[in-house]
Structure 1
Amino acid sequence: METRRLRLLVELARLGSMREVAEEMGLTTSTVSQQLAILARDTGAALVEPDGRRVRLTPAGRRLAAHGVTILAAVEAARLDLDPSASPAGELRVAGFATAIRRTLLPAQARLARDHPRVRLLIHEHEPFEAFALLDGDDVDLALTYDYNLAPVAFPDRYETRALWTVPWGLAVPAGTTLADAWERDWIVNSRNTADEEVARTLASLNGFTPRIVHRCDSLDLVQDLIVAGLGVGLLPADETVVAGIEVLPLRAPAVELRAYAVNRRGRTAWPPLALVVGLLRS
């Protein structure tokens, strides 16, 4: 079967509509429909069926789409394995959250500049859900993402995921504030991701309080400024230096840990620039 048609089926399983598949692939909706009809004829099975004004995958279509993820990944891996320009060279597009960029990507960039000058990083700062969308749209090659042990993420099978590092987080409060008093303060959470809000609500349920989520910002420096101004409390890395006027109280019941990951689309890890950078990040 044509892998291009199989890709359309996999994208239909992911996106749920032929119109969205057409927009994603730069085709017309009628072309997508025709190609899927040919795929159904080639496989001898009905793959889609009407669902109101839309379509949905049949059980056979869902099974083939699941196989398609593995098949397309294998095709991509074979292409990369036979690539004559196998030495690391080219532009690697990376979307990541600010802390990972500072902690691991910039040190890796220093080593690239010294040892592999033909590999160039193009860096975009994004929260995980934004980075995943860019991966799916083939707008970036690598995503640096995170979750918390109290708000874990289930990574889809279409991704290859490697753990990078884990950092304990504590509750940042105005100096002199006890943990018992901190629970009653206003809370500061991320404005672009809900993970730390989930952590705050989990801590609340386990410690018998309800967090007042009042302020939202995605800069950890700004979180510190708000805390110094007496506007609330928020989660911060326990191993980083904070400004005067702030204490980071340890959280042990339960502990809070941020976990960082390197994520790419399945089947692409063998691409030399990507393999090189992921190796540097993990080392």
Structure 2
Amino acid sequence: METRRLQLLVELSRLGSMRAVAEATGTTTSTVSQQIAVLARETGAALIEPDGRRVRLTPAGRRLAEHAVTILGAVEAAHLDLAPGAEPNGTLRTAGFATAIRAHLLPLVSELATSHPRVHLLIREHEPDEALSLLITDDTDLALTYDYNLAPATFDPAVRASPLWTAPWGLGVAAHDTRGGGTTVEVFARFAAHDWIVNSRNTADETVIRTLASMAGFTPRITHRADNLDLVQGMITAGLGVGLLPAGIPTFPDVHLLPLTAPDVVLRAYAVARHGRLNWPPLALITDLLTERSTRPDAAGATAPGPTDD
């Protein structure tokens, strides 16, 4: 049912005549009559009946007018909730990788309980491709994703990616096998004969490894895959290979992190949302809070992926 017609019915129940409704709404008596007739056809019930030279609502008309008050109130509440300047209210579905959730999203839960108690976060842990797929199919409202400077992501035109933070990565090797410094290409060349460990749920780090290995003149032997960085470090400790690790986390005693420079290897995090949703108050609030957290001076230590994700 057209809400404009419901509004005319409510006015008719309040004012008692179509002429009075026309004057109150800035339209004509014939327009009011036509709209009420259309509403009667939509509901399949007679809404008005003659009352001398005037009309009055039938029992069905009075009942619909009661419903209309509730319906119009709900519509107005929805407009207020969705207006860009409205107080944030509602449940925000978020899908993202574990570090973004643990280091940035979870701290917001306690903050929101005090500052915006009507905003609730629904959180799902997913790697970037999974999170973006959920966003495109409208199964989540906000995707927290990442790529690497050497393996840039391509985003669907239907979404907008807002940069959050960056974090340098290095090459994790056995502690007894550091073999000096050098450029990234030189470091890779020294480990050309090793097995390489990559993420099991995302291909970005494998793309980085293959790109740098190609620059160093070899094809890497990809043997093991894991999306848990503790497990990756355990594999390195066991002598199963080498792999990329974030520079901002403590390493196992038997793991050494070689810096990668010239070119650097940098993880880049994003908050991704669909166009058309960007002004929804809960989404705008959480995106702003995540951006603010990412720019804090002490954010660097919290932004590198932790021991449960790549």
Structure 1 length as normaliser, TM-score?
Answer: 0.69
SS of alignment partner, residue 84 of structure 1: helix
Alpha-carbon displacement from aligned partner over 1:137-192 (angstroms, at most 9, x marks no partner): 11100000111010001212210110000000100111021245433211110111
Identity of aligned residues (%): 61
Aligned to 2:288: 279
Distance (whole Å) between structure 1 residues aligned to residue 113 and residue 233 of structure 2: 33
Matched, 1:255 2:268: no
Distance (whole Å) between structure 1 residues aligned to residue 274 and residue 244 of structure 2: 31
SS of alignment partner, residue 276 of structure 2: coil
Distance (whole Å) between structure 2 residues aligned to residue 105 and residue 184 of structure 1: 40
Of 59, 77, 84 in structure 1, the residue corresponding to residue 80 of structure 2 is: 84
Aligned to 1:203: 212
Task: State the AA in 2 paired with 1:281.
Answer: L
Distance (whole Å) between structure 2 residues aligned to residue 108 and residue 205 of structure 1: 42
Aligned to 2:147: 147
Aligned to 1:232: 241
Question: Matches of residues 16-95 of structure 1 in structure 2 within 5 Å?
Answer: 83-85=79-81, 86-95=86-95
Task: State the AA in 2 paired with 1:202.
Answer: T
**Paired residues, number:** 205
Aligned to 1:160: 160
SS of alignment partner, residue 169 of structure 1: strand
- Residue 186 of structure 1 contacts residue 233 of structure 1 at CA under 8 Å; is this kept in 2? yes
Distance (whole Å) between structure 2 residues aligned to residue 240 and residue 200 of structure 1: 20
Aligned to 2:106: 106
Task: State the AA in 1 paired with 2:291.
Answer: R
Give structure 2 stretches of 5+ with no counterpart.
Answer: 1-74, 180-186, 293-310
Task: State the AA in 1 paired with 2:288.
Answer: G
Matched, 1:241 2:237: no
Q: Please, what is the CA RMSD of the aligned residues?
A: 1.9
Distance (whole Å) between structure 1 residues aligned to residue 245 and residue 192 of structure 2: 15
SS of alignment partner, residue 92 of structure 2: strand
Distance (whole Å) between structure 2 residues aligned to residue 267 and residue 197 of structure 1: 34
- Residue 173 of structure 1 contacts residue 182 of structure 1 at CA under 8 Å; is this kept in 2? no
SS of alignment partner, residue 83 of structure 1: helix
Aligned to 1:10: none
SS of alignment partner, residue 276 of structure 1: helix
Distance (whole Å) between structure 2 residues aligned to residue 95 and residue 230 of structure 1: 34
- Residue 91 of structure 1 contacts residue 120 of structure 1 at CA under 8 Å; is this kept in 2? yes
Task: State the AA in 2 paired with 1:123.
Answer: I
Distance (whole Å) between structure 1 residues aligned to residue 171 and residue 128 of structure 2: 22
Distance (whole Å) between structure 2 residues aligned to residue 230 and residue 110 of structure 1: 42
Distance (whole Å) between structure 2 residues aligned to residue 142 and residue 155 of structure 1: 14
Aligned to 1:135: 135
Q: CA deviation at 1:263?
A: 0.2
Q: CA deviation at 1:133?
A: 1.1
SS of alignment partner, residue 79 of structure 2: coil
SS of alignment partner, residue 258 of structure 1: strand
Distance (whole Å) between structure 2 residues aligned to residue 218 and residue 138 of structure 1: 25
Task: State the AA in 2 paired with 1:205.
Answer: S
Alpha-carbon displacement from aligned partner over 1:19-77 (angstroms, at most 9, x marks no partner): xxxxxxxxxxxxxxxxxxxxxxxxxxxxxxxxxxxxxxxxxxxxxxxxxxxxxxxxxxx
Aligned to 1:185: 194
Distance (whole Å) between structure 2 residues aligned to residue 190 and residue 267 of structure 1: 33
SS of alignment partner, residue 80 of structure 2: coil
Aligned to 1:268: 277
Distance (whole Å) between structure 2 residues aligned to residue 225 and residue 112 of structure 1: 37
Q: Bigger shift: 163-172 or 236-245?
A: 236-245
